[in-house]
Structure 1
């Protein structure tokens, strides 16, 4: 594959993970952050993460080779000048993104793709006035994108079809699993699906139907066992002898009844305080980072399990 040049803006968790995604697939990465302290700690953290990937046999090159493709840049202009794609990862503040995209539109080549990792802001909220707005889009990853390959591509009304096609091809070349969101919607696809599950879990918890731990068990040792390798539509297709139509005939009435009686969660402070106390009894606040590292290593083990063997088609 001919090397491509990627600029990653923001060196927090998402930015570091994106740097790994591109570097391990042969791309050259320039990583920039407005905070020099953040930037100084980025490469050591990236090296640690790549070494973890190596321990699960999830990279095909030496650690040093991959990390060497990532260089840090103190100045934004230096980081983006030759970029084929800019992956922005700054705070979820529309004014900040608008100001940055004005600069990116000015500093980059006219054919460079400008993508935001935003998890909820539509591209139209921060790209409307740009001369190069047709090349702007959202490329929303899952945290961390180096371990969870989904990326949601969503353009603004003025994003060109060519931009969407080029972006999809580029993310596929980077080993990701892009999906196209056909038009702007708050939360895109993943967070709307996650939000529906989370809303129902919180509502059931608030109404006293189960403890937080038991509701986590329902997901972890129930639904998630199937959902780790198939989606909800394939799941129901396989759960009735006649497929989706048969499943709907058997269980549609039950689901309509559940939906009619569903109580939405209003994110009350009282319930969230109770939930936080229950979680802190299990995991103290000062151990969250440690547990996050454990989560990442479990994701690596799952990826290793799912990775096709070299003799598979």
Structure 2
């Protein structure tokens, strides 16, 4: 399948790798021609890392040969059966690029957006081809973290959703269907709820930033790397999830009464968190730490891939 990736930043680069890994032909375009040129060596470097980690079976050069950059949008879109837009998270940019793409592609081409929060209805309502527009929201970086949230607008055709699902499965991603639109979809709403409580606990002096991070990475995160919250609680009571709800439901109900604030994060708590994080990681070391994170994600992805084979998933 020929796939166009629109936007060649970090997400666009990762998508190019994902689609090439699935043996698709990938055509890249960005509003800035130099961005596409800069993306190619970065993609090549990531492909080499993935091959060394055992996350791609083919030589890196074979995947890179499937990826090509284009200066003109119409050339990148020519013959594309599926398009993944990954431009900046601004509504006007989404409206403008989807209007352009809707005029250039065939009637059967799926137009998907990587947006992390904007519902498809916000930028596709007036398009003649709005039925083939959908959200395919990845987790950054999608070449290491496979979940993709698929969410259509009220007018998105069921065939569009199914084709998007099939494309994602063909690349080794793990699609999740969102049954109706909501801001932030599922992952970011869950992440946001945890972040709000984490900030509140630090702000009110119950824990510091490092203690909070340790609680997640060496506590909840270890279980969540292999199972979701419902399976977690299903296994954490002798009689399963109903037993868990009976035992611990009243506790969570009581706690939730303290978790009703919708106030923005204060400048004071943000400054406190910034200061605490800089004690552990200098600002000029952030890139090095991100690269370390990606190597750890590669190792974890390889482990989970092997574990999935063992259990037949």
Q: By the TM > 0.5 criterion, same fold?
A: yes
Matched pairs, number? 310
Shift of the alpha carbon at 1:54? 1.1
Q: Which residue of 2 aligns with 1:301?
A: 299
The 3-state SS of whatever aligns with 1:276 is helix
Cα distance, 1:309 vs structure 2? 7.1
Q: 1:310 to 1:139 in 2, by over 3 A?
A: closer
Q: Can you list the C-alpha shifts for 1:239-289, whole angstroms capped at 9, x where unaligned?
A: 001001100110011000100122535311111011111111211112111
User: Which 4+ residue blocks in structure 1 deviate beyond 3 angstroms?
Assistant: 309-313
| 1:235 lines up with 2:232 in the alignment | yes
2:265 maps to which residue? 267
TM value normalised by structure 2: 0.97
Task: Quote the residue 2:155 is aligned against.
Answer: 158
* Distance (whole Å) between structure 2 residues aligned to residue 46 and residue 311 of structure 1: 27
RMSD: 1.2
Structure-1 separation of matches of 2:301 and 2:260: 36
State the match for 2:45 in structure 1: 48
Structure 1 segment 151-300 matched on structure 2, within 5 A:
151-262=148-259, 264=261, 266-300=264-298
Query: 2:80: which partner in 1?
Result: 83
SS of equivalent to 1:184: coil
Q: Which structure 2 residue ranges, 5 or more long, are not aligned?
A: none
1:125 aligns with 2:153: no
Q: How far apart are the structure 1 equivalents of 2:102 and 2:149?
A: 22
Q: Which ranges of structure 1 fall in alignment gaps of 5 or more residues?
A: none
| Partner SS, residue 308 of structure 1 | helix
The 1:85/1:311 distance shift into structure 2, 3 A limit, reads: closer
